[in-house]
Structure 1
Amino acid sequence: MGDDQELADFGRRWARAELKGDTEALAALLTSDFSAVGPRGFVLDKEKWLERYTSGALVHDSFDWENVEIRRYGDAAVALGVQSQQSIYEGRDVDGHFRISQFLTAADGQWRLAGLHLSAIAVRPPA
């Protein structure tokens, strides 16, 4: 499927949808069996991931996806990068920097995010 530019574009679309809390765009970018491991070890399926936005519990003031390295494996890929956010979750400040591993698959001729894992970074890495 395509070149690495497609995957870089996918990452930008994902970050934009996360920033805006755009559940329609996110639903289209995630596989039906998507799962995410949060920075404290909790696991969210696609429905719960999107529910954070539909409920209004999660709001981002900023959301960046940078320092991304992409590794392709046929119709699968891994993207490693840094997510930086200024956010509120259920009224609490959840600003932070996270190392993220994204697991992508080519489904129906398009890249989709099948899973991700977040790990908190104590100190923001240099750009």
Structure 2
Amino acid sequence: MRPAALGKVRIRRPALPGTDMSFVGHLVPAAMQASTLKLRLAFLLACLLSVPALCTAAEVDDSLHAADARWNSLRLLPDVEGLSTLLADDWVLTHSDGRVQHKADYLGELSTRSRSNQSIGNEDVQVRRYGDTAVVTGTSVQAGTRDGTPWSGRFRFTRTWVWAEDRWQMVASHSSRIATQE
């Protein structure tokens, strides 16, 4: 016995112009119009076609590690144009002395050569992903000059990356100087 609320049920195979739907069998309430079914199928097809090709998780992780390594190599060159594409427009850097720099100021400093990195080496790098966001932490041993004054040190760093526009973009970077052991 069939519940009264369902009404009559029959099997229909909708035929959309230019498509072969013979492999699809749908249970469709008898009262549903063919145009409503076509509209729903068109909507479903549009949704499926609008989904971009997704990378595998391993490919995304590999691209994150590559982007983070690129951050260091571009700073050593310095490649302002390369860094500009790697950093999000609202990127912010918090230095170990508490200074805060935004993208334009940091890239300007690199382009005038008032800041120069001579060496950067990372240790104990850890990556944690949260959907389209990743946090990279570790220890960095660096040396360089700023306004002609040499500097060097060991730093703990935290970098935040966001997957946007089919690539990783850094949105924030923070470093804290590790005190020297006496």
Assess same fold via TM > 0.5: yes
Aligned residues: 124
In the TM superposition, what are the counterparts of 1:22-101 in structure 2 within 5 Å?
A: 22-101=79-158
Q: Provide Cα deviations, 1:35-78, integer angstroms capped at 9, x if missing partner.
A: 01111111100001111211111112212233210000000000
Q: Provide Cα deviations, 1:10-41, integer angstroms capped at 9, x if missing partner.
A: 11111100111110110010000000111111
Match of 1:40, SS? Answer: coil
For residues 115 and 107 of structure 1, what CA distance do their matches in structure 2 show? 14
Equivalent AA in structure 2 for residue 5 of structure 1 = D
Q: Provide Cα deviations, 1:71-126, integer angstroms capped at 9, x if missing partner.
A: 000000000012211101101111111111001001101001000111001249xx
Q: Which has the higher contact order (CA 8 A, sep 6+)?
A: 1
TM-score by length of 1: 0.91
Q: Which stretch of structure 1 is more off in the superposition, 59-68 or 87-96?
A: 59-68
1:113 — aligned with what?
170
2:13 — aligned with what?
none
Structure 1: unaligned runs, 5 residues or longer? none
For residues 175 and 72 of structure 2, what CA distance do their matches in structure 1 show? 14
> Is 1:15 matched with 2:75?
no
> RMSD value over aligned CA atoms?
1.4
For residues 38 and 61 of structure 1, what CA distance do their matches in structure 2 show? 17
Instruction: Return the structure number with greater helix share.
Output: 2
TM-score by length of 2: 0.65
Instruction: Return the structure number with greater strand share.
Output: 1
Between the aligned residues of both structures, percent identity stands at 30
Equivalent AA in structure 1 for residue 140 of structure 2 = Q
Match of 2:176, SS? Answer: strand
Contact kept in structure 2, 1:12 and 1:65, CA below 8 Å: no
For residues 164 and 173 of structure 2, what CA distance do their matches in structure 1 show? 17
